[in-house]
């Protein structure tokens, strides 16, 4: 048995024709859709990038306990379980967060890995003097300005090189069996950087200052720049899709559709002016961010090109791949999995695997959907208390906890505080935890997420008009209490959310 996970970062499902989009060219993702079950009710879990990957690789939801961080020593990862049972795993990736402080222990769990350099703040091109800043709006980061000097043609960009790495691995192992290939392209994550000729098909006539990297938060650029950045995102998605086609060509050539599971998904979406916001992290977890694409090809399945409406989440990747390889989670896993295998849905044995999907960022709103309604539950108190972060490895994106500047060490306790493991962890007061990256810091208690909001997905999918429906809200609250219990939530989350 073989399996390939194709993970593209920040893919908006509303830009994919398989989900009804028009005007954006993704013919190769369409090819995947033709051979796969298309999941219509698939949701993120922990946000953003690395929390989502921890969910996928451990089968457990993490955002109730901590923010961005490494694979913990008490975690059991999918590559680790596969290795223990004689199944080889390899990752080809340009997602440089794996190799920054706060991204430890992910790639190292695979048998082998290949890291493609150059994305975002990857410390790749080395020069003592910073480059001169050009006329530009949006983010400008000198390290990326250096990195992009190495991008001359499409083939030089790191996501195309990542797909080429995966193709080389497949060619070297075309006669092998019993493996997982994890192919991970950072694009279309920002910066939306690509050869300018790629914008031709999107009729881009923008002539303002260079703009390829949005700032997180409320829209702060003119309308022509906003239209331009949307076209850059679409063009980058199209360019990446073209290289996805080369991976699918290899599967065609080697007859892999007959014996290989293929999972295509993303970690989260991305706002491009919707709700007057850009990007993610600081605003409510709107559908554009958290309702994400999923397509799954299973050899012999009769679901090719058909749609599955059951609620699913990224935590389901782990148990699905385990079952594909014939492994029983009850005997192979020391930790309880929160995810559920998709294979019963694909075999027609079940129409549902859960009654709700819960998702969000550490310390912010906890969000839940039952498919019909979506409910954002905010902290009861203005100071967002009580909230604690639990970790055995106190690193997060770009820095360490335990220094005076980030977390007062006198406020850190240690002990077996988690319900699901006896491993001693640090208990860090979450009231002064920040996610700090690049030029911006995001405190967990953002000004934009301080109210409970209820939406009807069918009548207001764009989430423009929150509703007042006491009966529906009461039912969503009970679903949320149940979900918190099922996901081993720390007790203070119930207090913080007013759910005692």
* Residue 29 sits in the same domain as residue 172: yes
Determine the 3-state secondary structure of 327 from DSSP: coil
pLDDT in tens, 414-441: 999 999 999 999 999 887 676 655 555 5
Q: Which of 346, 376, 399 is the last residue of a domain?
A: 346
Does some domain include residue 351?
Answer: no
Tokens of 477: 């609250």
341 and 370 belong to one structural domain: no
Evaluate whether residue 300 is within a structural domain.
yes
Task: Tell me: do 212 and 300 sit in the same domain.
Answer: yes
Do 413 and 464 lie in a common domain? yes
Q: Does one domain contain both 462 and 337? A: no
Q: Are residues 302 and 365 in the same domain?
A: no
Which of 292, 315, 346 terminates a domain? The answer is 346
Say whether both 338 and 254 belong to one domain.
Answer: yes
Domain count, the chain: 2
Inform me whether the pLDDT recorded for 2 exceeds 80: yes
| Whether 81 and 212 share a structural domain | yes
At 122, which CATH number? 3.40.720.10
490: cis peptide before it, omega within 30°?
no
Kindly report, residue by residue over 66-104, the tens digit of the pLDDT: 999 999 999 999 999 999 999 999 999 999 999 999 999
Q: Is residue 385 part of a domain?
A: yes
Residue given tokens 């970790």 in the structure block: 391
pLDDT of residue 437: 55
Quote the domain boundaries for residue 240: 2-346
Q: Which of 380-389, 399-408, 479-488 shows the highest mean pLDDT?
A: 479-488
386 and 414 housed in the same domain: yes
Reduced 3-state DSSP string for 151-212: CCCHHHCHHHHHHHHHHHHHHHCCCCCCEEEEEEECCCCCCCCCCHHHHHHHCCCCCCCECC
Question: Is residue 325 one of the residues assigned to a domain?
Answer: yes
Residue 444 and residue 380 in one domain: yes
Structure tokens at 260: 């290989």
Last residue of one domain, picked from the residues 346, 365, 393: 346
Q: Output the average pLDDT for the chain.
A: 95
Rounded to whole angstroms, what are the CA distances from 382 to 202, 206, 256, 445, 449? 45, 43, 54, 8, 11
| Token code pair at residue 34 | 């033709």
Identify whether 352 is part of a domain. no
Instruction: Check residue 383 and give its pLDDT.
Output: 85
CA–CA distance, 132 with 419 (Å, rounded to integer): 52
pLDDT of residue 432: 67
At residue 409, the pLDDT reads: 84
């Amino acid at each position: 048995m073989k399996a390939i996970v194709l993970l593209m970062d920040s893919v908006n499902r509303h830009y994919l024709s398989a989900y009804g989009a028009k005007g954006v060219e993704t013919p190769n993702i369409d090819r995947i859709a033709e051979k796969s079950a298309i999941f219509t009710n698939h949701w993120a879990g922990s946000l953003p990038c690395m929390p989502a990957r921890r969910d996928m690789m451990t089968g457990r939801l993490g955002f109730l306990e901590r923010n961005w961080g490494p694979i913990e020593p008490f975690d059991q990862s999918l590559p680790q379980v596969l290795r223990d049972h004689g199944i080889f795993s390899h990752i080809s990736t340009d997602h440089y967060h794996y190799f920054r402080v706060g991204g430890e222990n992910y790639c190292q769990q695979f048998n082998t890995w290949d890291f493609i350099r150059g994305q975002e703040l990857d410390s790749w091109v080395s020069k003592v003097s910073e480059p001169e800043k050009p006329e530009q709006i949006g983010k400008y980061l000198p390290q990326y300005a250096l990195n992009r000097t190495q991008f001359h043609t499409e083939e030089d960009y790191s996501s195309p090189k990542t797909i080429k790495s995966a193709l080389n691995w497949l060619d070297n192992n075309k006669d092998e069996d019993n493996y997982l290939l994890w192919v991970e392209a950072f694009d279309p994550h920002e910066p939306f950087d690509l050869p300018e000729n790629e914008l031709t098909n999107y009729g881009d006539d923008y002539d303002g200052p260079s703009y390829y990297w949005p700032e997180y938060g409320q829209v702060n650029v003119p309308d022509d720049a906003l239209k331009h950045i949307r076209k850059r995102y679409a063009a980058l998605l199209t360019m990446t899709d073209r290289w996805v086609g080369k991976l699918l060509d290899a599967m065609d050539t080697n007859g892999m559709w007959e014996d290989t599971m293929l999972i295509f998904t993303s970690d989260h979406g991305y706002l491009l002016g919707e709700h007057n916001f850009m990007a993610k992290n600081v605003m409510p977890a709107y559908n554009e961010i958290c309702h994400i694409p999923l397509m799954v090809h299973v050899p012999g399945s009769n679901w090719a090109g058909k749609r599955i409406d059951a609620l699913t989440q990224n935590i389901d990747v782990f148990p699905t791949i385990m079952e594909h390889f014939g492994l029983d989670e009850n005997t192979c896993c020391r930790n309880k999995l929160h995810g559920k295998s998709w294979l019963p849905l694909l075999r027609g044995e079940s129409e549902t695997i859960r009654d709700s999907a819960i998702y969000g960022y550490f310390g912010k709103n906890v969000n839940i959907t039952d498919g019909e309604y979506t409910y954002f539950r905010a902290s009861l108190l203005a100071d967002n208390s009580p909230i604690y972060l639990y970790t055995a490895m106190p690193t997060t994106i770009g820095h360490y906890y335990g220094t005076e500047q980030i977390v007062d060490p006198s406020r850190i306790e240690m002990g077996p505080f988690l319900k699901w493991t006896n491993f001693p962890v640090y208990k860090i007061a979450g009231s002064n935890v920040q996610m700090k990256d690049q030029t911006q810091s995001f405190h967990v208690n953002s000004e934009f997420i301080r109210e409970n909001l209820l939406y009807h997905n069918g009548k207001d999918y764009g989430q423009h008009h929150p509703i007042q429906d006491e009966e529906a809200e009461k039912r969503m609250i009970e679903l949320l209490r149940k979900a918190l219990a099922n996901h081993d939530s720390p007790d203070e989350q119930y207090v913080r959310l007013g759910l005692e």
